[in-house]
A and B are shown apart, each in its own frame.
Chain A
Amino acid sequence: MNLLIDLQCCTGCGACVEHCPGHVLSQDEEGRPYERYPDDCWYCGVCETECPAQCISLLFPYLIR
């Protein structure tokens, strides 16, 4: 997991999914974002920047902590 997505605050707008340059994120059947391809993340922070409700924060994985 690279991201902490606060699903309580997420409105399901899909902005993070739409903009992720790596096609890493997807929405589940209820519109909640999740990391479908976490191995392809660059930690660029686009998802964090694009979230209008500021529900996403980047976690730095163990390898690079």
Chain B
Amino acid sequence: MNRWETVQADFVIVGGGAAGTMAAIRAKELNPDMEVVIVEKAEISRSGAAGRGMDALNNVVVPGHGTVEEYVEAVDIVADGVLQPDITRIIGERSFGILKRLEQWGCRFPRTPEGDYIVNAFHPKGRFLVEMRGDLKKILAREVSSLGIRVYNRHPVLDLVKSGTRIAGAVALDLGTGVLKAFLAPAVLLASGGAARIGLPNTGYLHGTFDCPWCNGEAYKLGFEAGASLTGFEYTCRSAMTRDFNGPGQSTFIRHGAWLVNGLGERFMERYDPQRMERAPAGIRMRAMMEEERAGRGPIAFSFRHLPSKVIEMIEEGIFEAERPTMRAFFRRRGIDLKRTPVEVVMSEVYLCGGHGLSGLVADRWGETSVQGLFAAGDCLANPYGFLAGAMVMGEVVAERVVERAAPGPSGHDARDRIDRLRRALERHGKGRLGVSVRDFEYKFRRLVNEFLAPPKSETKLRRFLHLTEPMLKDQEDLPARDPHEVMKVFEAKAGLFCARMAAEASLFRTESRFGLYHQRVDYPEKNDAQWKTRVILSPGPEGPVVEKERS
């Protein structure tokens, strides 16, 4: 791992998921001469949280079905009044344009017999969810390729390069050769997802997470260490997840009208949110699930028996064909037939996500962070409940900004200091003096997340978490990594621990309860709009993170 190379570009995109590929496509469309490079940890036709596929766009303002105003209002309800409305508004304004582009490229959006899109309700208010079929990531990868965009697959980014106060590039590790590569450009987009491996799943399996486990908060950590701020880290998500099956599914069930029932067969949401029932904001739904479990009324399940066969077939088609084909085999193995059998769900581990949560890098309406030239889009950007459409909208928005502003040509910066720093770190990992595997290390902090950070929270527990994980910050530098894959796992684990500690800091600071279960403080059980209807911002300071309320 001693050699290094430099790649010059105009625009470097970290992460080739939905946001990153869309940013690359838009930039190249607007300026074919621009050198656009995607640096991807996996392989772009199957990477990111939507890598296998997606059976819907959750948030499209379809003309005739809803307005941008209604959309912003719906997201405001889900975000409990704590959001940056301008980004949500842009997503509302441009999401239908994304749908039309995807349709033009070959994504299918099933229609009603009258020829209209199938638009379902998922938000607590309004109808913004459009059924989608087709192999989304393959389609995006094809467009990237047809435009001649350079893609570096299997290159996890380990560090960012700065020149004074502005961004100058990113350094990645080539998993195939072990060579470090500096990708230098005056504009860098972080688009490498949220943080999935924060809490420990109830199976105890490290990669058995709700969200894509290979996105582990690296973008949050890279951005923060480069000088950008984070927000929404007290919004510690948990989701209903099919028991023993890793991955999402609840939105498919909910939008088609499945009921959440407890072990007594009761549709228990009647007790917690009789108006909105299963479509209550996620944190309220999860708090209801937890209360039911605690009262001994588990297990919790989604029930489909009341639904017409046609609807059940649509659920199955969406999951088995568009989103998660392995679920078909899993259901068969478990003897689950949606027409007859409820699907048991458990609460997922804690995770952080900008696209189906509130956690992310703080950016302006063009996706630019406080570090000049450093942008964010997708799940690493604070774009509350922006989901997949939001990732693609913000990818486009960032690209437009970069094209409009960027002076073409190389940034001219030398990344030698960052390369040297990384080399020293990798040498230390090569020695691996800690004598504990990265997996054991990760298991330990994620077990502590479950005990002390997962909601319901209290000051005592949160302080305990920070105290117990503090020595791990030093230990992590001596984790063993003897090949490039292991280096990647070490950097993922470090990012996960960083995110968990940021979540504890933000959770300590917000001395009220909000977001249903997600920020339930037993020592401050009431919601306090007068004091706290605002974002909590974490910024890098000389002696650690500075936590404060957003200045209006």
Contact = CB atoms under 8 A, between A and B. Distances in A.
Residue among B47, B212, B214, B333 with most chain A CB within 10 A: B214
A50 interface: yes
A10 interface: no
Contacts of B51: 21, 44, 46
Interface in A7-65: 18-23, 36-37, 39-46, 48-50, 57-58, 60-61, 63-65
Contacts of A44: 51-52, 247, 324, 326
A22 B52 contact: no
Contacts of A42: 207-209, 212-214, 246-247
Interface residues of B, number: 35
B175 interface: yes
B206 interface: yes
Residue among B46, B209, B245 with most chain A CB within 10 A: B46
B208 A64 contact: yes
Given A39-B206, A39-B207, A64-B245, A46 B46 contact: yes
Q: How large is the interface on A (under 10, 10 to 19, 20 to 34, 35 or more residues)?
A: 20 to 34
Majority secondary structure, B binding face: loop
B326 A64 contact: no
Contacts of A39: 206-207, 439
Given A23-B175, A45-B325, A64 B244 contact: yes
A10 B213 CA distance: 28
A61 B206 CA distance: 13
B42 A21 contact: yes
B42 A22 contact: yes
Given A21-B43, A49-B52, A63 B175 contact: no
Contacts of A60: 244, 329-330, 333
Given A42-B247, A46-B52, A21 B485 contact: no
A5 B510 CA distance: 50
B325 A64 contact: no
Given A41-B207, A43-B246, A63-B205, A23 B42 contact: yes
Interface string B229-251: 00000000000000011110000
Interface of B: 41-43, 45-48, 51-52, 154, 175, 203-209, 212-214, 244-247, 324-326, 329-330, 333, 439, 485, 488-489
25 contacts: A20-B42, A20-B43, A20-B46, A21-B46, A21-B48, A21-B214, A22-B42, A22-B207, A22-B214, A23-B485, A39-B439, A40-B207, A42-B212, A42-B214, A42-B247, A43-B326, A44-B324, A45-B325, A46-B46, A49-B52, A57-B329, A60-B330, A64-B244, A64-B246, A65-B244
Given A44-B247, A63-B244, 7 more contacts: A19-B43, A21-B43, A39-B207, A43-B245, A43-B246, A45-B52, A60-B329
